Amino acid sequence: MRTIESKILTRAAMAAERERLRQAGRKLVFTNGSFDLLHDGHATYLQFAREQGDALIVGLNSDASVRRYKGPQRPILEQAHRARLLAALEMVDYVVIFDEDEPRELIAALLPDVLVKAEDWAHYVSGRDVVEAHGGRVVLAPMVKDLSTSELIRRIRAAGGDREA
């Protein structure tokens, strides 16, 4: 049984693992996100992504990256905790933290066979051009309605969760 820590790799280590997987003929799937306050919508999405191939890499936005696009109050959980939670999930084979605003460079380094993104990002899938240029495909995943981290934060605040316990 693999440990949680063994599933969290650097970009360079994942590139080497990607080559090993390619040699073994395994289909690699990539998805990404901040995965802050992990919830059932995330689990459903990640299971869908994993079903698209033989191994799933999750590109995880670093804390700095999340702050740049979600604001100074986010993430709720720091990247080390988010990475460990993702790596603890059975359907996740690898986690790689990236600091860029979008995962295009990481995708270009790993060249997954399948790139999965939630259908609410149909208007723009970072790395689509790279994956398709190398014979891969992009799959849009269905969303779980009315379930998002932003909505969970709103509910917590509405319930008085922003006061100290």
Q: In which band, very low, low, confident or very high, does the pLDDT at 111 lie, cut at 50, 70 and 90?
A: very high
Reported as a single tens digit per residue, the pLDDT across 112-163 is: 999 999 888 778 899 999 999 999 999 999 887 766 777 777 777 788 865 6
Q: What percent of the chain has pLDDT over 70?
A: 95
Residue 118 has phi, psi (to 5 degrees) of: -65, 145
Gap between the Cα atoms of 165 and 150, Å rounded:
21
Q: Could you give all domains of the chain from N- to C-terminal order, each with its CATH number?
A: 5-158 (3.40.50.620)
CA 73/CA 156 separation, integer angstroms: 14
Q: What angle do CA 50, 142, 17 make, to 5 degrees?
A: 25
